Structure 1
Amino acid sequence: MCFSLHLVCRFLEPGLLYARRQLTPVLPSSSSFEIPDSYQLTLTKEIFLFSNTLVGRRKRMLLFGSITQLEMLFDSTTIFMDGTFSCTPPFFDQVFTIHALNFPCVFGILPDRKRITYQELFKILKDFAISINRKFEPTRILSDFESGLISAIANEFSAAIHSGCFFHYTQAIFRRIQVLGLTTLYFQNSETRSRCRKLMALALLPIDKIESSFHSLRVKSSTMKNQSCPPCTGGNGYCPPDYFCIGYSSPYCSNSCNPHGPGGPKGCCGCCPICTGSGK
């Protein structure tokens, strides 16, 4: 019986797939596509797509959220913002969400990560809040460290306290560890790992202690250079670079064997992942 049902399903599958394709809209070839009414409303026929805006030439921004979600957002004094890029639809750059505490309130599909785009988003929300007799004036905002977003928040919500997300902060540090080729050293060397974790923990200190603690951590980390540089024999040995003395915009090796000293040209050492390029 089961075998017979399996054969019937296999026989019907091509026809079902064809029927499904006939009902599925053609995939758009640009961002200027039409959005069916069924995708602009909730299941209870309330507005869901509340803004469909051009923020530049061929740059479209879509904002989704029900009236209930927007009222919750405007009534909240603390909001969270975050963007994701892995699930972004074609012709757009990111899916941007705004939360009131634990509740997602706005889902935005943005064309880029520029300050002007974020500012346009906030202005749309402020205007919509006025239209329903509300104000969009959060007193505390938490977000990641997108430079365009930080600048836009400072301009549009100057009275709010803007804090960076601790998760994104530690994630950014560990990504930098990986980019600089220090992953193996991080896991195998307890002192290096301790220094990096202390850097992550700076955000948990009282504000008046952060600068002095960072300076102290940097001074201690500057002593973590090899006293003798192993010969560059093409093996696994290399002198570990001083992580905290590596420039962010243009990484260079600051090993003691660097004949040019800290800040010397990339490739001067020849025996660590940064200089050889294996850590990039």
Structure 2
Amino acid sequence: VKERRHQLRELAQIGTGRPRTAIITARTGLSASELKALGTDDTLRSVYRRGKRNDLDETAANTAPFVYQGSMSETEGKLRYLFHDSGATDPKRIVIYASDTQLEMLSKSTRISYDGTFASAPDPYGSVFSIHCEVLSRRSIPSGSRCLHDGWLRKQQEYRRILDLILQSPILATWAPIEAHCDFEQASRLAFRYYFPRIAIRICLF
């Protein structure tokens, strides 16, 4: 999957043909599970556009031992914002952003919503996964974003890995959400039920 996305960016940089033709080329010969992991038309068009801009060296972005520090790890008030980074040597690197304030709001919320997207993921990551918590007046706000590497396959164990990491925070020691709103993806629902067996999951089309 990672190689096919790289191929799509290369086709964009060459500039031959239309985006649709390049997407068909990138999908050729893949199995059903690989096609699902590769992403939707919107996702692949976003990948194509990023390749068209050619605004970074993809090889360097995926291999450099980038360290998140300074403005990449703190708020403007110099408070911690980077919650976890599994490191550049992790083939499925996970970077989690969640401030203590966000975690405190999450700990007090019994209703959440969550979703992931490929389309807006910053290079070199393949997906962004975000959990939102409900606050006063039934308003939903972000409680943290998770940037996931291209190796992300949307499996239950991957979502459980994220939840296991954030639940290590002492702030969430007694957190027990009773309701979650999400899309139709089964893997994420099973992961949440693993940690919160009594949670009521409402499936909706975002």
Structure 2, unmatched stretches of 5+, are 1-59, 135-139
* C-alpha contact (below 8 Å) 1:64/1:107 kept by paired residues: yes
> SS in structure 2 opposite 1:127?
coil
Aligned residue runs from structure 1 range 1-280, under 5 A: 28-30=61-63, 32-53=65-86, 57-101=90-134, 102-111=140-149, 112=152, 113-128=154-169, 131-132=170-171, 134-165=173-204, 167-168=205-206
Work out the CA distance in 1 between the residues paired with 2:156 and 2:127: 14
Alignment-mate amino acid for residue 144 of structure 2: V
Amino acid at match of 1:116: Q
What TM-score comes out, normalization by structure 1 length? Answer: 0.46
Which structure has the larger Rg?
Answer: 1
Aligned residue identity for 2:162 = L
TM-superposed CA distance for 1:73, in Å, is: 0.7
Contact 2:110–2:178 (Cα < 8 Å) also in 1: yes
Answer 1 or 2: which has greater strand percent: 2
How far does residue 163 in structure 1 lie from its aligned partner after superposition? 1.3
User: CA contact under 8 A between 1:52 and 1:61: conserved in structure 2?
Assistant: yes
Determine if contact 2:61/2:124 at 8 Å carries over to the other structure.
Answer: no
After TM superposition, what 4+ stretches of structure 1 lie above 4 angstroms from structure 2? none
Backbone CA RMSD of aligned residues: 2.2
Q: TM-score, normalised by structure 2?
A: 0.61
Q: Distance in 2 between matches of 1:41 and 1:66?
A: 9
Deviations 1:199-223 (CA, angstroms, capped at 9, x unpaired): xxxxxxxxxxxxxxxxxxxxxxxxx
Amino acid at match of 1:157: F
State the partner residue of 1:276. Answer: none
Conservation of the 8 A alpha-carbon contact between 1:31 and 1:91? no
- 1:94-149 residue CA offsets vs partner (Å, 9 max, x unmatched): 11111112111111112312211110111112111xx2374221111111112221
For structure 1, the 5+ residue unaligned runs are 1-26, 169-280
- Is residue 139–residue 160 contact of structure 1 (8 Å, CA) maintained in 2? yes
Give the residue type in structure 1 aligned to 2:163. F
* TM-superposed deviation, 1:153: 1.6
Q: 1:31 to 1:116 in 2, by over 3 A?
A: farther
Change (3 A) 1:93 1:59: same
Q: Distance in 2 between matches of 1:106 and 1:43?
A: 16
Structure number with greater CO (CA < 8 Å, separation at least 6) is 2
Whichever residue aligns with residue 94 of structure 2, its letter is: M
Aligned-pair identity in percent equals 29
CA distance in 2, matches of 1:32, 1:145: 35
What amino acid does structure 1 have at the position aligned with 2:167? K
